[in-house]
A and B are shown apart, each in its own frame.
Chain A
């Protein structure tokens, strides 16, 4: 049977009956797999990068030296081992002193990622596998400048005298946590005793780094986890670089959404193409029944034909997707600190599954209908297949595709919005189109004969026309969404990080320095930044119950063990969005209240109304949570997890923090600022900012590339929607000609119908894309959405143009030849 099915496939292909269907499948599968392959590579790369950010596959922290047995276990399991010890101390050179963040490292550090060093200040840097030799130190640029210590000079650390051997420019595991950031001094771990700085009571962090084969790492982690004692913790993945993760997450959402759109549009194409296929095969099917083919055999033949087509198209789609992902990956490769790994096979399987389900879900209902064609049709043309409810027929297909897309995108909310939005759009478009057709045809009484005929046709073929309008509107919606709305969304995203986004942070501003510092800004002609108070506080109780760090998972535990940076304000900053609760009111300010960040509230189980207790400089205060805020981590502005009303922190030791934009031409300002206020620390974020901005552009290019798939799918929908009624229109034109209508009359009657169809579809598409754009902007990406009025002109115009081109092409081919020829072909 399969050979016959394959022959049927070859014949139908040659006759051009299956091309749209195959193309739609290829586009859908290619779109899903390219995005899948890409996401898979990014996921793997992020994991690798996260290890670089740890400097290891596994990091063990302790506030005391690690026991010998832990080191031995690491070695016993064949894992590479390195260690580092970090503490804060004062470094001196002559009269100059600078607080240094000291990191003493052993040979082999870091086990993942590489250090970069330069032989002197402002010289080009390069990767190195070495660490500072005993007796020498590497310092970062700020330290070198602060101490005026060039390479070759000697500095003092505690009792030790160490020679500066290189300028360290990059530590993969340093991250961007810049609070308490002192300039770096890196030394060899063997030199620690000589400094005499490590004594009982010193605040020192001891880290063991382990790396190796992932199974061995996992096995060691499983062994070590239950052994952890007080003050010990274990970290296997880093959550550093939140701003890059946020942007990548958002990019992947964007890309995934686009792929989904392509799949659903392809589904519409598949459904329209199969519908046309089965209509054109009704007679052939009946004839084969006459020849004695049984229903089940015929169905099996057609199913095998479509199955073979599906397998071939899906395979082609996977191959196309594999190559397309190279292009996407090329756009974003620069974002990753590690080269993108080869993708796994899973995305190909997902793409294949989606292609097959697409085919089953959307091609099966029309094919099943074919199965029920009575053989009697060969002598009685009016006998057609029994009608079935399209809604029921496609519901299963929609549900299956929806489930697969959600599986593929890995995100329920976005998947539901897209799939649900599409289903809703079909129902709304259908209802509006049907109503509009009825209204227009009723109002056609006063028009000319040709217009009356054309408009009457609208209602006469109400069902077919509704289907066509819905399909046209869907195709046009996609195209408008991907041209107009896409541009608007991307612009909005871009504008979140404008060219004048803050690029410097100033921390450790003392209360009495606040006013003079602002004066200093004014005197130097730099816009006054918003200054926020900052108080260090420890989270001690929730609703009266003391906090036990052990009850939290690892990540949350680290949060509660550290001190929080609390701030106090009269009102929450404008760039914070309140997602639950309210802005501080007068009563809150009088009684004391807290506002917390959404993510940390989730991690620590905080809810509105919870009363949190904090210990600040030995004093404890308690206040209720009155709001939960969402923060833009990629905005480069000062953000706080916890904000209190001013009264709560009035007596706490407070410093201030601000961020501001320093134009590139005024870098001397920071030097003057540091000289005037030596105790404050200016952190230059411009490198990170550039990275984020560059990343956004790269991601936008990648997203735009994926848009091409959805655009292709949208155009296919348009084409198949127009093709769906072409046979009927050609036949009608031929019949009218046979009955003596002039070419002008034929064209005029079709014109009336097409103008109405095109305008309705275009207007619906404009409404649809605006609504979807709004939903995506507001609910998914949390942008404020700006309505584009042009869409209301371009949408209907585009609808009109599509339908007009189709009408002219269809009517032409019917008008060009004698009616008998046109009729015979149908």
Chain B
């Protein structure tokens, strides 16, 4: 019962400080953040404001200098690296600015990969259905290098949603795309998000994209300066 109202992400006092020459550089300072299920949160800010670092910490890809993150009630940093990986497998989907498709795998195999890693026996069928859903049913056997940027990002979306994640983390998903293609990809992402009731956290420069989210926070100098 509690899960319905509890936040899916809770970050408390989150800081990341790294050495830079002789000094210590604070990339993130004392971030406090709650994201509720079904919400779509945009993290905006200038380059170097700490957006990607925050995303990395929320996904447990990096460890903070201080503070904690709870994902779906689980304290992320009380787990070791493998424990965090398992939690990611249960909860998270990713979309990256540079798509991050595996060049040796065709579109269908790229979508199958997370299912296969999870030991899902119906990987091929699920991937096929998902690629049909993103409009690439005709391009299953195409390799990333033979797909346009927009198509590659659709494959990446299919790969992220095929696992039915509770939480989708997107890092500048339109950063490598022209405006029209970017808009198409974003439309698709929000459609899928709505269909599956996924919580969305996306990092972006794109104000238009940010405005489509239910909530925004702005980072500057490693701190939340607006929401």
Chain A residues engaging chain B, CB cutoff 8 angstroms: 4, 7, 11-12, 14-15, 17, 280, 283-284, 286-297, 374-376, 378-381, 824-825
Complex CA–CA separation, A295 to B87 (angstroms): 14
Please tell me if the beta carbons of B117 and A4 are within 8 angstroms of each other in the complex.
Answer: yes
A3 CB to nearest B CB, Å: 9
A372 CB to nearest B CB, Å: 11
Residues of chain B lying within 8 A (CB to CB) of residue A14 = 104
Residue of A nearest to B116 (CB): A4
Please tell me if the beta carbons of A288 and B100 are within 8 angstroms of each other in the complex.
Answer: no
B117 contact from A15, A292, A824, Cβ within 8 A: A292
A11 contact from B90, B109, B163, Cβ within 8 A: B109
Mostly, the A contact residues are helix
Q: Does B161 contact A (CB under 8 A)?
A: no
B40 CB to nearest A CB, Å: 19
Please tell me if the beta carbons of A294 and B85 are within 8 angstroms of each other in the complex.
Answer: yes
B89 contact from A286, A293, A379, Cβ within 8 A: A293
Given contacts A11-B109, A280-B103, A291 and B114 within 8 Å (CB-CB): yes
Given contacts A376-B56, A378-B96, A293 and B104 within 8 Å (CB-CB): no
* In the complex, chain B residues 71-92 whose Cβ is within 8 Å of any chain A Cβ: 81-82, 85-90, 92
Given contacts A280-B103, A374-B61, A293 and B94 within 8 Å (CB-CB): no
Q: How many residues of B contact A (CB 8 A)?
A: 35
A747 CB to nearest B CB, Å: 24
A284 contact from B81, B102, B114, B149, Cβ within 8 A: B102
B82 contact from A286, A287, A294, A380, Cβ within 8 A: A294
Please tell me if the beta carbons of B102 and A379 are within 8 angstroms of each other in the complex.
Answer: no
Please tell me if the beta carbons of A295 and B81 are within 8 angstroms of each other in the complex.
Answer: yes
Residues of chain A lying within 8 A (CB to CB) of residue B56 = 376, 379-380
A379 contact from B103, B104, B163, B171, Cβ within 8 A: B171
Q: Does B113 contact A (CB under 8 A)?
A: yes
Residue of A nearest to B203 (CB): A379
Complex CA–CA separation, A284 to B145 (angstroms): 15
Q: List 13 A-B contacts (CB under 8 A).
A: A283-B100, A291-B88, A292-B87, A292-B118, A294-B85, A295-B85, A297-B117, A374-B62, A376-B61, A376-B62, A379-B96, A380-B56, A825-B103
B21 CB to nearest A CB, Å: 17
Identify the 8 closest CB pairs spanning chains A and B, nearest first: A292-B89, A15-B104, A294-B82, A292-B88, A291-B114, A284-B102, A375-B61, A376-B61
Q: Does B164 contact A (CB under 8 A)?
A: no
Given contacts A288-B113, A290-B94, A379-B55, A12 and B104 within 8 Å (CB-CB): yes
Please tell me if the beta carbons of A11 and B96 are within 8 angstroms of each other in the complex.
Answer: no
- In the complex, given contacts A14-B104, A284-B102, A378-B94, what are 7 additional A-B residue pairs having Cβ atoms less than 8 angstroms apart? A4-B116, A288-B117, A290-B88, A295-B85, A297-B117, A380-B52, A825-B103
Residues of chain A lying within 8 A (CB to CB) of residue B81 = 294-295
B78 CB to nearest A CB, Å: 17
> B100-126: contact bitstring with A at CB < 8 Å (1 yes, 0 no)?
101111000100011011100000000
Residues of chain B lying within 8 A (CB to CB) of residue A374 = 61-62
Residues of chain A lying within 8 A (CB to CB) of residue B59 = 290, 375
Residues of chain A lying within 8 A (CB to CB) of residue B143 = 15
Residue of B nearest to A825 (CB): B145
Given contacts A290-B94, A292-B86, A379 and B52 within 8 Å (CB-CB): yes
Residues of chain A lying within 8 A (CB to CB) of residue B97 = 379
B61 contact from A11, A290, A293, Cβ within 8 A: A290
Please tell me if the beta carbons of B104 and A11 are within 8 angstroms of each other in the complex.
Answer: yes
Complex CA–CA separation, A295 to B163 (angstroms): 20
Residue of B nearest to A283 (CB): B100
Residues of chain A lying within 8 A (CB to CB) of residue B145 = 824-825
Complex CA–CA separation, A299 to B55 (angstroms): 26
Complex CA–CA separation, A292 to B85 (angstroms): 4
Complex CA–CA separation, A291 to B161 (angstroms): 12
